[in-house]
Every structure is written in C-alpha cells, then in structure tokens.
Structure 1
Amino acid sequence: MPPTPISPPDGSDILTLASPAFDAAYPRVVNRELIPQPILQSMEWAWNTPRFPERPVRVLRLADVWVAKEGLVFDRGGNLYRETITQHSAGEVEQAHAAVLAAMEQGGVEADADGPVLLCKKRGIGNYGHWMMEMLPKAWLVHQHLPALSARFLVAHVPGHLNDSMAQSMAMLGIDLSRTIVADDAPRRFTDLLVVDGLSEHGGYMSPLVLDALDALAGVVPAAGAERLFVTRQATGFRRVVGEDSLIARAQTLGYTLVEPGVLTLPQQASLFKGARKIVGVMGAAMTNIAFAAPGARVVTLTPAGMPDTFFWFIATLRGLDYTEVRCPQSGPVQGVMPWDTDLLLSADDQDRIFAD
C-alpha cells in the first residue's frame, strides 16, 4: 500500500528566503519539427512562461525521521513528506516505504542523534548535473545562512569520478568533508533532519539562488584561455554524433579546444567553461558546466529529437547565455537507459550552422 503524503508540521520552517523573479524567453530551437508532439508539449509549458515569479525557498527542520532510496523522507508513522518526492516513480516510493516499515518492525536501527543533518540526496543521485544544480546548492545555502547549526551533510554513495567531483565541489566551498555522511538506499533514521524545499523542480523550475553555489565555486579558480570549446562524450560511449571524429577535426581547425569533462577534475572544468565564449556539445551532464560561463557566452547543444529537457535552458536563462538547441534525428539502437540514448545524425547544413559566428 502506498504511503500517505504529508506536509511538515507547523513551525518546521527555520529559514525562508525569497527566490527572485526572473524573465525567460522561448529558446532558439533548430529543427523543432523533429520533436515528437508529446515531447514538445512536455517542454513548451515551461518554454512559454515569460516570467517566473518570486517564490519562497524554505529550510525545514524535521524530528525523528527515516530517509530511504534517493532522499525520500518518512515520519515515524511511515508517512511520506511530499516535499521529498523528486521525480521518484510510484514503484520507487512503494519500495522505499516497504523498506522503512520493515526496518521499523525489525528494530535495532540506531538513530543518528549527533545534531542536525542536511538532506543532500534527491532523485538522480548518479548524475553530475543533478548534483551541481540541485543538491550542492542546498549544502551551500545552509552552510552560508545557518552556520550556527554546524550541520552535517547527507550525500549519496556514487561511483568513481562523480564521487570525486562531489567531494571537490564541497571542499572548494569550504565545507569540511568530515562532516559528510555517505549513504546508500537503505533506510536510515535521524533525530534531526534539515530539508531545503523550493530551489528546483526538475524540468519545471530552477531558482536563481542555485547560482550562488556555482559562483562561489568558480570564484576560487582562474578562467582558462580557451575561448571556444567542443565538448565530447567519447568516454560515455553513447548519445554521440555519427562521424564525430570528422566533426572534432573540423572544430579543432576552427580553433575549438576539445573537452572531455569526464576525465578532468572539477577545478579544471570550472576554469575551462569560465573562460569560454562559445561552447558546442551534445546535451548531457557534462554540459551542466555552462553554468560557469560568463553572461553572453554562446552555447549550442546538439540534442536528440526525442529528448524532453528544459534543464539546460533553465541554466542558460539564469546565467544570461545565448542558447541554441539543434535537434538531431536519432540513429541506431538505444545504448543507454533512456529512449534518447542513441547516436545522433548531424546534417551538413547543421554542421555549418553550429560553427557559424
């Protein structure tokens, strides 16, 4: 049986910030006609919003709770706080609920009672973009605005390079890594948990306040000298342009620096994108680094025709970037986990277009 979604008790808000209103413009989309209508409709409600009004961002303090899966929070009665449902499927919610109820029945799980812990886990824990734009900003907000709490930070257990980026990003913001708690999906109990609500709704909203963390992070690295970047997904192995080698060769003859973010440290990535004035790359987590670019920088994302995404448009809007999506026909089998994880076809005209000044 699914859990009952509930709201935090009265008095749970310990801090409320005003997230500023901002204007937005419909993105420049090349080959818009290739986008399937259901996919287009899922994005257009955001794209057609000319102004996102001011809204509150809250820090909630919850007592005696359980955290399971990718940041789902349950009270001691097994009810689910609706603010922590972030793109979780009904099946994932039910699995987490069952695991929490089982842990309650078995007993023996000691609650963490060593002071407040900030929830820095949400759906999408294995994605660099989700971490940088949706989880890290929560850590920075509490670190900056509520230092007297001496909060600790609950983060996800993730593999390899992303784990390094997570650690580097927190350290660059002056957060003591000894104050992090690394957790898997198993239920954990906390007597004092902090939850930040309102910074983002993946696909539907992104607060200008998320840029505070990125600005603080970029402030500790110098801008690199490369003005043009071509971002490749060679290490990823899917969602690549057919014939990318020749495309890369052309980019390099035009003065573009080839960038493979997955093999760079976070400071190196921030430095490169901070100094760039033109950035071209296939839409994917590595392009999150456009958030380090200066206002006015030109960004071209090569995007699968069937990929529903407003994430990078939000980043570009908040940062004041000149943003273009080139929608590409998809080719070959699905190689990742999503239907748009195929290779991409880029026409000769579109190749000319992406490199035009």
Structure 2
Amino acid sequence: MADRMVATKVSPKFSISPPIVQGESLGKNISDRQISAWNIGGWADREIRVLEIENALILHNGLVLRSDGTIVPESARNFSNDTIEKACSEFSALYASANRLDKATLLCSRPGGICYGHILVEIMGSAWVGHQMVADKSWALLAGTRPGIFELYRQIANYSGMNDVEFLNIGTSPTVVSKVYIVDGFAITGEYVSPLLKEFSQSIIDGMGDLAESEKTRKLFVARKPQDGRNINNHEEVQSFLASQGYETIYPEDLDWNEQVRCFREATHIVGVMGSALSTTMFCKPGTRLLLLTPPEMLDTFFWRIAAICRLNYQELRVKTLDSVRSKETGRPLDKDVYVDLELLSDWIFSSQA
C-alpha cells in the first residue's frame, strides 16, 4: 500500500539576521559555508506533513522501509548511502526476523537520537507537532534509544502535554510495526527548524506549573566537564571573572532536566561554550542575552536559529583552540580545548549590562 498523507500544517515564514561575531577569524575550511548560511535571510512558509505507512520495518535510528523493501525517503535524510544500501540488501532477512508490534505509532527516532539537542528540538519537537496534527490518540509514541536516555524522552513528552498517549521504546531492535506515522518538515538537521518550536517550548513551560509565572532572574555560566571535550583551558580565570559579575556556574548534567529548564528560563544572561546543553536556550525569555564561545572551525547554525525563533539576543565569540587530552584520544578537532580572551569576554559582559 502507498504511503498516505493523513495531516498537513503550515510552518510559518520567519526572517533571520546574521549574528554579531567577534574574536578569531573563521576557519578557512568553513568560512564561505558559514557566512552563506548566516546570510540566508529567512524561510518562506512550508508544509509539515504526517505520513502513514503500514507494516513498516523500523531500523536503528529510525530508518523506515516499506513492506516491499523500499525506503521511506522522509526517514532517510540523515543516513549515509552505505547504510541505506545495506538495509535494502538485507531487507528480506531483517523483515522476517524482526520483532512485531501490532499498534499504530508515531515515530520519535532519527540519527542523533542520543544527542540532547537533537532529542529536544528535532525529535521531540517533531513528535509534539505530530501530536497536535493527529486528532485520534489511539496510537503510541515510538522511540528507539537507550533505556537511560528514554527517560528524558518521557519527561519531555509529559511536560509538553503528550501524556495522553502511550510511549514505547524498541531500543535498537529491528521492528515491524502495523502502522507508523512519520512527521516530515518540522526540522531538517543542519538546515531548518520550524518557528513552531516556540509553541513547543511554551507548552513545556506551561506544563511545569509555577515556572511560567516565575519572576526570579539569574546569570548563568554553563560549564563543561573534562570528559565532554571542548573545555575552557583558562576555566578558573573565566569562572572567577564571571562570578565577580554575578554569574553562577552550572553543569547541566548534574541537574534534573526540569531544573535545567528552570535555570535557563530564569536567566537574563548566559555564557557557555557552544554545545548541546545550550539547546535549553529555547526556554529562555525573549531578550535573554547569549554569548556562545565557539571554536573557529565549528560550522553551526543550530543555536542561532533557536535564538532567532525565540527572539533572544545571540552573539558568538570565536575563541582559540588548543590540543587537549580528549582531542588527542578522539582525533576530533572539535574536542580541542578553547582559550577565552578575557578582554573580549569583559567587553561583552559590560556592554550587555548597559
């Protein structure tokens, strides 16, 4: 049976301006692409669709194949050609041996399903808009992730009002599902996220009760732990200066998720090294000032787009990088430590308080 489109919704147009960027020059290998991405100007109205596929095979990270062995292209955007070709070549054996789930489900799985930013913004944002679009709630949300991470999925679903449907987790097991809904168009990794993200974030804030009315304010220095990579080489110096300006240091992974949301919601100013923990800026109040400490070689528009949608004051300070124990272990340039120029940091701190 052919895929069936069961619902559509307009993702409204929005404009976006290039950010203010100071510090080191962009790396030569990303400069043209980064500047081009920053100058896109915005996005026109586009369509979000919910597709229905029957008797579909769901593989790890949400790759979906129809019962005839063909790929559902809307599920395949972030997979390599090799992964797709391998899945197609092994389809018959996978389909025959897969677990069976006789239930309608809405898929909450895609590559990056263990990365906080992808989970919060792209996976659960898509699920939330799909939940709004499919009126009949006789289906279940369906994730494919580690048990520990699944608890985060469940918290996001509950706080955002999706607690009227069951939430299942198939882990990494190939599973044939009698009916699966796929939300297409809310987010495209590295390119786009719908401005409906703001409504999604507000639904979570409302779901946390008194947080929506909180008048407490704070300034945050969002720190990283050594095992995370991309640490600040002169951390003590930076932390001491920020503390003198009224900033409190937090390590997000040490906080319950609802406490992370509360901290970011109450923040008027946030400083942190660019990384997935800063996805929580989607809960900040309009006008919150953000300074993201960013390696020169880091090509990214994700946090800038969140800031534009949520009407935050976003700036980047491109900072020097230094080899670290972590980067030597992984060979990843983005695991290098960063060095923050205190003079440039203080310029932003004092100007942001004006």
Same fold (TM over 0.5): yes
Judged with a 3 Å threshold, the aligned counterparts in structure 2 of structure 1 residues 69 and 337 are, in CA distance, closer, same or farther, namely farther
Q: 2:267 aligns with which of 263, 273, 276?
A: 276
Size of the aligned set, in residue pairs, is 344
User: Does the 8 Å CA contact 1:109/1:188 hold for their aligned counterparts?
Assistant: yes
Pair 1:25 & 2:17 matched = yes
- Structure 1: distance between partners of 2:19 and 2:239: 25
Q: Which residue of 1 aligns with 2:122?
A: 134
- Aligned residue number for residue 200 of structure 1: 187
Partner of 2:71: 80
Which of these residues, 342, 348, 353, is aligned with residue 348 of structure 1? 342
Q: Which residue of 1 aligns with 2:234?
A: 243
Go from structure 1 to structure 2 and tell me whether the alpha carbon gap of 1:249 and 1:159 turns closer, same or farther (over 3 Å shift).
Answer: farther
Paired residue secondary structure (1:138): helix
Q: Which amino acid aligns with 1:109?
A: A
Match of 2:319 in 1: 328
Per-residue CA shift, 1:154-209, capped at 9, x if unaligned? 1122364x443222111212334981221233321112000000011111111111
Please say if 1:305 is aligned against 2:296: yes
Offset of 1:38 from its aligned partner? 2.8
- Tell me, yes or no, if structure 1 residue 319 matches structure 2 residue 310: yes
Q: Deviations over 1:240-265 (max 9, x none)?
A: 11021221122112101111111111
Distance 1:218 1:291 in 2: 10
Pick aligned residue for 1:14 from 6, 20, 25? 6
Alpha-carbon distance in 2 for matches of 1:337, 1:263: 27
Q: Percent of counterpart pairs with the same letter? A: 27
Q: 1:173 to 1:302 in 2, by over 3 A?
A: same
What is the CA-CA distance between 1:66 and the residue it aligns to?
0.8
| Contact 1:65/1:189 (<8 A) preserved | yes
Q: CA separation of 1:218/1:113 partners in 2, compared to 1, >3 Å: closer, same or farther?
A: same
Hey, what does 2:333 align to over in structure 1? 339
Tell me, yes or no, if structure 1 residue 112 matches structure 2 residue 101: yes
CA shift digits 1:105-160 (9 cap, x unpaired): xx24353222x201100110111110110011122223233241322111122364
- Stretch of structure 1 that moved more, 124-133 or 43-52: 43-52
Normalised TM-score (structure 1): 0.90
Q: Which residue of 2 aligns with 1:230?
A: 221
Distance 1:36 1:30 in 2: 13
- Does 1:156 pair with 2:144? yes
Distance 1:99 1:217 in 2: 41
Deviation at 1:32, TM superposition (A): 5.5
Corresponding residue of 2:277: 286
1: CA distance between counterparts of 2:256 and 2:41?
37
Question: Structure 2 residue aligned with 1:146, among 116, 122, 134?
Answer: 134
CA gap 1:295/1:336 in 2 versus in 1, 3 angstroms? farther
Q: Which runs of 5+ in 2 are unaligned?
A: none
Q: CA deviation at 1:93?
A: 2.7
Provide the rounded CA distance (Å) in 1 between the counterparts of 2:2 and 2:159.
Answer: 35
Query: Quick one: distance in 2 between partners of 1:38 and 1:216?
Result: 40
- My pick for the range that moved more, 37-46 or 302-311, is 37-46
Supply the distance in 2 between the matched residues of 1:308 and 1:50 (Cα, whole angstroms): 18
> Which runs of structure 2 are paired with 1:211-222 in the superposition (5 Å)?
211-221=198-208, 222=211
